[in-house]
Structure formats: structure tokens, C-alpha cells
A and B are shown apart, each in its own frame.
Chain A
Amino acid sequence: MLITKTFRSLGSIKIPLILFMILLFVISIQAPKLFSVSGFSNAILVSAPLILATLALTPIVMAGRGAVDLSIGPLISFLNVTLIAWLSGNNITNPIVFCLWAVIAGAGYQIIQALIVTYIRIAPIIVALSGYLILTGVNLMVMSRPGGLSPEWMSSWSGGGEPQIFSPILILVLTALGLWGLFTRTGLYKQLRLVGSDERMAYTSGVRVDFVRIVAYALGGVFAGFAALSYTALVSSGDPTQGATYTLQAVTALVLGGASLSGGRGTATGALLGALNMFLITYLLGAFSFGSLSGYITSLAYGGILAASLLVNVVSNRSSVSRG
């Protein structure tokens, strides 16, 4: 009785949680190497950019109007190549400057998007699409092919020596989750949920709709900056070509985590679980040997999972509505 009650109170993260458990179970049989210190530290390193990218999408999608920021991948890619080409390439390797640039540029880009959405009043998806095109182009102009080298202090993040669980990457993820936790304590969070689920209602209730939206986008931008830092640490170089992949993965993780793309609903736990599930699925597929087919099977699997979780979300939302 108690179990079913707790289970129901989990709401939208119920399904991602079940999937997470199942995946862990299968992996513990198929690929138990994950449950070791090196396995864990590697898992954190590889999944951090996706977790943070998914987290970056969460406040933006919550703001409603169908705002799925498709330009998130190119944005992370943009921050990555500028960190390497503009800062590292000019011998600016101060960690504080690095982190500040990623966070400020990320937030700045998202604030521009929010201003266009609120004041020029264009559908967010169109703004995201054109942002995608512009950034993809700009990224290739900044750096025409993968290359460059991240500063020394950063390559030590990716576990150059001993595998460690409490790496700076983990701290980055925890900081982001902490920031989100603080945000959910403020009144702005409630207002954001209201704006996302019913913007007219929010407006007539006196919520500063525009302001809330801009803050949500800015927060998403900060997380995008975090994602770019962890991504740069992961690849230890600049790569202008990975934008599209990250967009698709982050959107899939977001949906997999139970967020509603129509706005108003989204949790950090959901984003975290969604991204971890994506990582575990990739890990599991890697454990089977498909040889040269593995890349295609991964894309087939991503597509299938995305479609299935969209359908499941629809069904589960409907049943929760009918229950009241």
C-alpha cells in the first residue's frame, strides 16, 4: 500500500526510474565492468555533457510555447570551439576566465533567444532553427575541423592519471543540480510552471511573463555553459561537428526523463535520469558486439526509444489527468 502510494507520488519520473532500474539490472549481468571505480569515473565523464545539456533544455521547455531549443547542440559546440580556438589558442588558459566565458556566452546566447521570442514574438522553434543554422555555420568558421588542445588543468579533469569518482566533472554536475535546487525554492520556479502550463492564466494573475521567460532561458544558458565545459574536458579539444548529435541526444534524454514538450512540466531528476538512461543504453549496446553495424543500431535504437517514450508520456499523462 505504502509502496504504491510512494510510487504514484513519483509522477512523471516513474517511467524513467523503472527503465533506469531495468537497465542497471541488465548491465549488471551483461557488462558488470561498469560497477567499478574506473567504470564509474568513466561513466561520469562521458555522461556529464549529456546530463548538463538535458538540464539546459529543461527550464526552456518548461517556459512553454513548444520551445524545444534545437540549437542546444550547436551552442555547446560553439562554446567548445571558442574555448579552444579563441581562449586556449591565444594562450589564455586561466580556469576562471574559461568557466566565465562558457557560462556568460551561453547565458548571453539564450537571453538573445528569449528577447527575440518575447519582443519580436516569433515562435521559439523558428528562433531555435535559425540559431541552429547560424551557429553550425559559425562553428565551422571558427574551426573548420576538429583540432586544438585543451589547457593542461582541464585535461587532468578527464582522469589523466588515477580513475577518480570525485572528479571536477562530478562537482560541475552537482553544482548544476544544486543551482537548480536553489531555483526550485524560489517563487520564480512556481511562476515558470504557471507560465509554461497556461501563459494567459499566468498573465492575468499578474506574473511577469516576459521576465520569467528570460530568466528561464538564461538559466538554461548557464547550464549549457557547464555542458560545454564538461564536453571540452571529455574530448580535450575542439570539435565543430558534434552539434547535431548532441541536440538529438539531449532532446531524447529530455523526453525520456518525462518532461512535457508542451511546457509547464520538467524536473532536474527527470533530466538526470533521462540522460543516464541514454548513457546506459549506449553502454549496453556497446557491450554487444555488432561490429560495423553498431553505429546504425544505435541510431535505430535512439529513434525507437524517442518514439516509444513520446507515446508512453502521452498515455501516462492522459491517465494521470483522468485520475485527477
Chain B
Amino acid sequence: MIRTLLTALKTHPGVDGWLVTETATASRQAFYVLNKLETRRIQETREYQVTVYHRFAENEKTYLGSSQFAVSRKLPGKECHRMIEEAVHAASFIKNQDFELVEGGTKRRFRQTPPAGDAFELLDGVAHGFIDLSTDHSRFNALELFLTTSTLRTLNSRGVDLTKTLHQLEIEAIPSFDGEKQKVELYRHFVYPSLDWKQIRRDAATALEEVAARNAAGSIGEAKTLPVILRDENVKEFFQTLIEDYSYGSVYRQMTDKKIGDTLQKEPKGDVLTIGMRPACKADAFDRDGVILKPAVIVEKGILKDYYGPNQYACYLGLKPNGIYNTTAVLPGTNPIKTLRKTPHVEIIALSGIQIDMYSGYIGGEVRLALWFDGKETRPVSGFSFSGNIDRCLANLRLSKETVTMDGYSGPRFVALPEMELL
């Protein structure tokens, strides 16, 4: 199919540039309910996204219009030409600023080491890592495993021809605890770039410990104001939300009023932030535009230093594109978590989802499990919400010395936010 597409693109009149992304996915999936196998699935698909560019001039100004279409089945050459023709026609009405597609170099292929063994045997092995931890009271009521190999090839009219093959194990697990008075659960989602059996077992065991704590959790009582410590997945979401407005697209569309050189932390009294972006792994070497990814610093010591994102918008801003990254990387702090936990606080283990609205300055969420230290003892609590102001958080936050690496994030494992309203 790729040959038919490329031939059509190279010969069709009116095509002044093109970008093709081919995605081949091979996935083995297994679903377990109450410790039993419920369904097994295989996915084997190959799909294409095709962007056609058409350059035209009007009133002495040059525009580069584009239109994209998807191909998820074999098309004869004639049908390819019809779709390209429609795309060229649409692009001729799109008066977007002119820009250059990424220039290619040598054809390159990047590969991650695949997991060894039969996929379904591996999945059952992973499942045992969870199921075998079951007790009379606790188990994973639902477990979904996805072992996926994705091969992405990006080609464009300026010679880009890059391929990367990535593997990942994704797990959705529902640790559950049947207590005397109630049944409780938590939601856990893990992504592993390789089969790290030790880490998987540790994560499974921790999930069951946490859900047992949710069963034991009490009320936090009357409304109060306390510092809040976030950890793991919530720390990742916190930092990802913090920098999402600093993409070239957001800046070009004026979604943010921050410019390079502006401070994100007004009069910081806590730790200053250094936030970067980097590829997920060595094989994750380029983005969908064909930009070769190198680690980039977006925020340095609390100051906005650079942007990231698609080539098109970088060109509009007159900048060299950093590219679209998978991973946010944050420099850790100097305080060990022991220090951050010394004074009364609430440490959040599970939220229904952290809510951050950078425009209104809101940060908060509904807490499903937390550990409350009142200065004397620590007890599990649930069924309350926390909220506060993001600017005040940024000026006063403290980062842990301990770090964590997970899908999409690398950096301090804990972030202590200043006093928040707990209700």
C-alpha cells in the first residue's frame, strides 16, 4: 500500500509536499475477571495518515494549505489519486502561513528490544504476578493486559524516511478489598516499556496494600487547611499540565500570555523548577513530523526558556523545532521525603483525577485515599476534596530528592504543595 500511496503522491499535480505516517500495530491482549481469564484478543492492523500540502499565492502572499486523510485498507491507485485530488482541492482554500516540512537525511530505523517469549504466556505470567497475591479479602477484581508492538514509519516529500519499533506492556488493574462493613477499590494504570518483572510485582503488591488502606480509611473530619503531598502519577499530571501551554501551537494561538524569559514562579520561596522534555527511550528517536528528538529544557530555574511541539507551529514562530515528546523530565529537589513529611500534612495516594485550570489558577481534586499526619500519628483518610491556587503552589512548592521514572515522566517522586483547603 505504501508504494501505491507514494507513487500517487509523487505524480499527482498540485501536490507541493506530503507527509505519510504508517502505523503497524501488533497487540496481544488478555482480560481477567475475579482471577479468571475472560477474553483474549489479537490486533494486527496497518494504517496510514496522509497529509497533502498545496502552495499558492494570493495578493502577493504565499500560503501553504494542507489537508489530511486516513487510509486503513488497501486502495487501488485510482482511488488514491481521487483522495489526493480531494485533499489538494481542500488545501487550495486553506490560507495557512507558508512553512517548510522537515528536511530528511539518511533513511534510519530505530528498534527497542522486544520481550522474549510467547506473548500469551508472558501475559498469563504477568497475570499470575497479580492473581497470586490474592488473599481472602483482597484481589484484583479486574485486570486488563495489553502487550503491544508499534512500528511507526514517517516519510515526507523532503526526504524524511524514519522508522521506529516500540514495545510496551499496559496494565489496567482494579485492586479491591472486601472489608467487614464495605467493599472498596482503587484504579491503577501502569505502562512498562519492557517486562520488568520485579517492578511489576512491586506495583501489584503496593496496589493491594493501598486498597487495604482505603478500607481502613476514615473521615478527615471538619474542613481544614494543610499542606498536600502529591506522588507518582499525580506528580506527572501536575507537571504535564503545567507546561502544556508552552507548545508552539498554544503560543501561536495565544493560548498563553507567557513568553520566553517570563517567570513561572513569582517570588519563589520553595524549590525552583527545571522542566525538560525528552524521548521515551533511545528508539523513540523522532516525532510524527520527522524531527529527530533531543532532550530540551523548557523551564529553567522557574523561567520559561523554550517551547516544544509540531514543526508547523515552530516554523510559524520562526523557531527551530524541538519536536513532540513523550516524556516530561523534572529535576529533583534536595529534601528527602522524610523531611517533607515532618510537619502535619496530607499525602495523597489516589485521586479521582487532579484538576488544574491554569486560567483560573485552580488546583484540586477528589481524594480517594490519603495519609493524614496530624503531627502525632498518620492515618488513612478518604472521601474529601482539596483545592488551592496554582500560583501560590508554584511559589511555595518543594520537590523530593527521591525520583521516579514512569511512562511519560521522569523526576521527583513527591511534590509538597503549600497549604490547601480540605473539605
A binds B: no
What is B's interface to A at a CB cutoff of 8 Å? none
What is A's interface to B at a CB cutoff of 8 Å? none
